[in-house]
Structure 1
Amino acid sequence: MDDLTISDMLRRAAARHADLPCWIEEGRTVTYAAFDREVDRLAAGLLNLGVTKGDHVGIWLPNTYEWMLSFCATARIGAVIVPVNTRYKAEEAGYVIAQADAKVLIMLRRMWKSDYYAMLCEIAPDLPAQQSGELNLPELPSLRTVVVLDETATAGTVTFDSVLSDDTGAVAQAEANVAADDMLLICFTSGSTGKPKGVMHNHGVIEQSTRVGLALHVEPGDRVLAHMPFYHSAGLYMALITSLNLGAALVPMIQWTPREALDLIERHRVTMFGGIPTHYYDICAVPDIDRYDLSSLKAAWIGGSAVMQETFERIMRSMRLDKLFSTYGMTENTISTSFNRWDDPVEYCCRNKAPLLSSCEVRIVDPETLAEVPPGSEGEIWCRGETVMIGYYKNPEATAEAITPEGWLRSGDLGTLDAEGYLTVTGRLKDQLKIGGTNTSPVEIEQQLAAHPSVKSSVVVGVPDERMGEVAWAFVELSAGADLKPEDLIAHCSRTLADYKVPRQIHFVREFPLTATGKVQRNEVAKIARGMLPHG
């Protein structure tokens, strides 16, 4: 895997697996050989648009074939991919496109209730009056061309098909000038607090993505459900790149619906599935899940936030999974800092306890003294090595805050690293509660709440308290049909938790506020809690 570029990876896959499918959807199956030829056609078209090595290309698309094609073609000529979240509104999208200095933007005109062209015109009102290829927009100063995935071009744009070129002679020279340590993409964080930050990575992400696939025993001819958005690091690194390098086929989902996911797994004999807890909650809530044949699944992974043991075991039973691995990672450290081994006992997986996946260094430090703590002691997780990002694009201050002068990435996550090298994530540093002067993990309280059969999920936050400084409040989503009172859950927690950890108040909710990538926005839940105080 050493020194491979995305284009090297694809050329090799096309030679080894020419007739195997790399993409399977209703009405279209594309082989590796055919896909490689199409990448050349789009790469040639991008060169014709004036895109050269180091230029930035924004991809504002859902999980379509054209997303994968745009990604590989942009990488082939040494340009930099800027994935744009399809759930963004105009202000958010405008910030990312401008901040990333996108020269070309490839986008859908509209999808469902979202009119992306109207949003782009809201961002840059002069767009319709200008010629695509010669755009000069003060709000998006680097943007020259807008490419729309539509049969006809709208004002200020060109169509995707019109960009494709059969004259691919210039592609080989551009491809030859690309090196593995060249920047590949700027992937913007979800921005649950503050503006999104653009995380820069080079082509070396192939190695960590491949490690994920090997940990899941992905083989040529396997099928990977691609429901995690490609604009998100999990969809890109744990599905798209993983599949292309290992000869598997992507089975895409443009919009997440649990019943469709079950149908696709059954119909296309999907072998690998993964997602955040929300995906699993949704699937397990399908009333007739037992009628679906999920026996093709070799393994699945779960990550994105802490997974409670009771919930973990429930998921395995409902989906009839033999292997469900926990993983911990962050965009800034590529993906999956830790990942369970194939033969790890279920007890380890349930506890989010997994060995390090790559050769990167991990240390656990005291957040206040910054001294390394003994094995098994809790502290902040720091990482150093090949998986750590180049930095945040055009944000040296944030880069300096995140990466120490010695190259350690400060994750902001809490965990322990035992003598055997297994990492256990215990929570977020900023989520820690300080009750009566004692540090308390909200995850521990959520773990106890999850042990109650009527609890689907919960979020514990701290609220100010005159006597204790801070106390715990729990916001709980109940399982369908559950009939429970707050005092029942308080009594449940009191049986096993120290009195200061027991939530002072329980509030039932129908759903939690989520980020654009489906993670619970704890900061928003905390705001709701503070707003409920007498002087909130």
Structure 2
Amino acid sequence: MALARYIHPNAPDPVKDKYIPTDDAIFKSPYGPFPAISQDLNVHDFCFPPDQPLPQDYDLFINAVTDERVTLHQFYNRACSLARAFRHDGPNPLHLTPSPIDDRGHGGEILGLFSRNHIHYSMLAHACFRAELVFGGISPGSTAFELWHVLRKMKVTSIICHESLLPVLREAIKLGPGGESDGLQLVLDEKKIIVFSDDASLDAVLGHPTVESLVKLGKEMSEPTRQRRGGERLCYLFQSSGTSGLPKAMMISHKNAIHSGLQGMVAATQGARFAGITEFPHQIVLGIVPAYHSYGMILWILRVNLTPATNIIMPKWDIELALKSIEKYKISYLPLVPPLVRQLAQSPLTEKYDLSSIVSCGSGAAYLPPDVAYQLAQKLPNKTPIPSGYGLSEAASIASGAVEGLFGLKPSPPGTIGFLLPGMEARVVDPDTLKDVPKGSKGELWARGNVVCMGYFHDAKATAELFAEPGWLRTGDLVMRDKEDRIHYLDRLKEMIKVKGLQVAATEVEDTLLHHPENLVVDACVAGIDNGKGDGSLLPRAWVVLSKEGKRQSETVVFAKLNEFVGERLSKHKQLTGGIEVVDSVSQLPEIKLWW
């Protein structure tokens, strides 16, 4: 595949040109700008240009458990078929309405995607892109209460639900329309529930049509020639906790999505040019990062057909299955999160399997401690410390380490964020005065670029808090910019707790504790404590002030009731695995430092 597609005509030469650090408050990526794209480009047409034939076929997705396979050509044909069934202006068997183009109006079709990783998940997303149907990715670990909240926050009108998660969906619907306390209404039409079944022979499950039935139906439909729209139009919603507070629905435009996929391609192309490589090698990739997350979205959805890759998809983490898959499929690239890096680094199981096929490994979604990065490196063929990327759901990728010598850049050892990725600009700002700070000083990282999201869906207040100035995203993370323009992570302003790479909003857990039906507590503070494993992951812990009713009962009983209530309403990673402690006042607690 031609590398020139991913290079701006004025991009710097990775060998001849040297990046010169600047003392300007606004600093830019050493990679240069993005290549120009059409203003109205649709994500699907970016990945599968209509005027270009498909490359030679290959296995695109493989189920690590069953060895079931989907080739690139099968993927494309299935996505086209399903898109015909999804078009609101076609035969429209589901009676879908047009999707909104932003959040300035009301109504419009929003399709929820509620599933674990699956070899057909990416196909669902591309069918939506092609049909101009906005979708919202939802965590498959959601409890019924969390799902109910997200369905209302995203204003989901239709949903694709994996058959294993139907009981959770039914319980969520039973919670009713809502709106009494938070103004959010459930608008899901139960006639528009589509089941994602592992049995391809089924056309219906519990009276609901299956994805396969719609793919079959779409194959028989004609498709008129049309210009698909994209650009600044709303493309999909992410389930995000934002920089603080309860879960929100984050808006990603086609322009945002395309540049999130393109960004890694620009960096990879410049790296290839630096190494004297003229074509991208075919990679075999371990597929454990969840597709509903921005990290997984880039890997499994936004880069399809941009570079040749076979993705070995795991529905859930199993270290031995991962190691068996590395050996069986000769996996060459491991995209991981810090807890998995630690587990692979420390597990004796790694000695049982052949890891010689691994060319590279990366970590994202959370802070990767340097010692863990070095530990796993010693078990891999090239012994290179595991690099860690930096981004947010609101801007999927902002910075990462670069190959030493590329544009004359210095190394980015573990513990640093690295250099700005293609197309990005940044500032380091005093969070109190909102004034730029000099190099070497601590401040909040602000970022600007085409990957930065549109804002939060129907939440103008949260959007205003996210953007301090037009276009400038406040990350909520405290960093230091060194003399080379490398970024060093220091601390965080926001109250998010990272548990195994997943976000936990302290306020969400606190709110749950305060709403126990027996009113056991009158105040609560939740923060993350070190899990003791050295992987940067935290354990949520609560400090509570008991009510009269709480004091009347024993602490053991109160703790049991609170844990049970949190467990019923919130996902496993949000539960109080760090314990509960009774205090007289949360205002007297010492400051608690939190990692990502």
Q: TM-score range, shorter-chain basis?
A: 0.7 to 0.9
Q: Note if contact 2:48-2:305 (Cα within 8 Å) is conserved in structure 1.
A: no
1:10: Cα distance to partner? 3.5
Q: Note if contact 1:300-1:325 (Cα within 8 Å) is conserved in structure 2.
A: yes
**Structure-2 residue corresponding to 1:509:** none
CA RMSD, aligned part only? 3.6
**Structure-2 residue corresponding to 1:189:** 240
2:45 pairs with 1:8? yes
Unaligned runs of 5+ in 2: 1-34, 100-108, 177-184, 273-278, 499-505, 507-526, 535-565, 590-596
Q: Note if contact 1:146-1:156 (Cα within 8 Å) is conserved in structure 2.
A: no
**Structure-1 residue corresponding to 2:298:** 237
Q: Note if contact 1:82-1:186 (Cα within 8 Å) is conserved in structure 2.
A: yes
**Structure-2 residue corresponding to 1:134:** none
**Structure-2 residue corresponding to 1:145:** 192
Map residues 37-436 of structure 1 onto 2, 5 A cutoff: 37-47=77-87, 48=92, 49-51=94-96, 53-54=98-99, 55-110=109-164, 116-125=165-174, 139-141=186-188, 144-150=191-197, 151=202, 153-155=204-206, 157-164=208-215, 165-170=218-223, 172-173=225-226, 176-190=227-241, 194-204=245-255, 205-213=257-265, 215=267, 219=280, 221-323=282-384, 324-333=386-395, 335-343=396-404, 348-430=412-494
Measured at CA, do residues 171 and 284 of structure 1 come closer, stay the same or move farther in structure 2, by a change above 3 Å? Answer: farther
Q: Note if contact 1:378-1:416 (Cα within 8 Å) is conserved in structure 2.
A: yes
Q: What amino acid is the match of 2:120? A: E
Measured at CA, do residues 232 and 305 of structure 1 come closer, stay the same or move farther in structure 2, by a change above 3 Å? Answer: same
Q: Note if contact 1:228-1:275 (Cα within 8 Å) is conserved in structure 2.
A: yes
Unaligned runs of 5+ in 1: 111-115, 128-137, 433-441, 444-460, 462-471, 480-512
1:243: Cα distance to partner? 4.3
Measured at CA, do residues 124 and 353 of structure 1 come closer, stay the same or move farther in structure 2, by a change above 3 Å? Answer: closer
User: May I ask how many residue pairs the two structures share in their alignment?
Assistant: 448
Measured at CA, do residues 322 and 172 of structure 1 come closer, stay the same or move farther in structure 2, by a change above 3 Å? Answer: farther
Q: What amino acid is the match of 1:417? A: R
Measured at CA, do residues 350 and 368 of structure 1 come closer, stay the same or move farther in structure 2, by a change above 3 Å? Answer: same
Measured at CA, do residues 413 and 171 of structure 1 come closer, stay the same or move farther in structure 2, by a change above 3 Å? Answer: farther
Q: What amino acid is the match of 2:78? A: E
Aligned to 1:15, the other structure's residue is in SS state: coil
1:211: Cα distance to partner? 2.7
The worse-fitting range, judged by mean Cα deviation, of 61-70 and 218-227 is 218-227
User: Comparing both chains, which one has the higher relative contact order based on Cα–Cα distances under 8 Å and sequence gaps of 6 or more?
Assistant: 2
**Structure-2 residue corresponding to 1:451:** none
**Structure-1 residue corresponding to 2:548:** none
Q: Note if contact 2:244-2:495 (Cα within 8 Å) is conserved in structure 1.
A: no
Measured at CA, do residues 407 and 126 of structure 1 come closer, stay the same or move farther in structure 2, by a change above 3 Å? Answer: closer
Q: Distance in 2 between matches of 1:396 and 1:77?
A: 28
1:88: Cα distance to partner? 0.1
Q: Distance in 1 between matches of 2:572 and 2:338?
A: 9
Q: Distance in 2 between matches of 1:250 and 1:516?
A: 31
Q: Note if contact 2:430-2:436 (Cα within 8 Å) is conserved in structure 1.
A: yes
Q: Distance in 2 between matches of 1:123 and 1:295?
A: 46
Q: What amino acid is the match of 2:43? A: I
Q: Note if contact 1:364-1:380 (Cα within 8 Å) is conserved in structure 2.
A: yes
1:342: Cα distance to partner? 2.3
Measured at CA, do residues 101 and 139 of structure 1 come closer, stay the same or move farther in structure 2, by a change above 3 Å? Answer: closer
1:126: Cα distance to partner? 10
Measured at CA, do residues 213 and 318 of structure 1 come closer, stay the same or move farther in structure 2, by a change above 3 Å? Answer: farther
Measured at CA, do residues 88 and 517 of structure 1 come closer, stay the same or move farther in structure 2, by a change above 3 Å? Answer: closer
Aligned to 1:314, the other structure's residue is in SS state: helix
Q: Distance in 1 between matches of 2:260 and 2:329?
A: 27
1:228: Cα distance to partner? 0.6
Q: Distance in 2 between matches of 1:171 and 1:199?
A: 32
1:340: Cα distance to partner? 1.1
Q: Distance in 2 between matches of 1:350 and 1:171?
A: 52
Q: Distance in 2 between matches of 1:388 and 1:191?
A: 13
**Structure-1 residue corresponding to 2:532:** 477
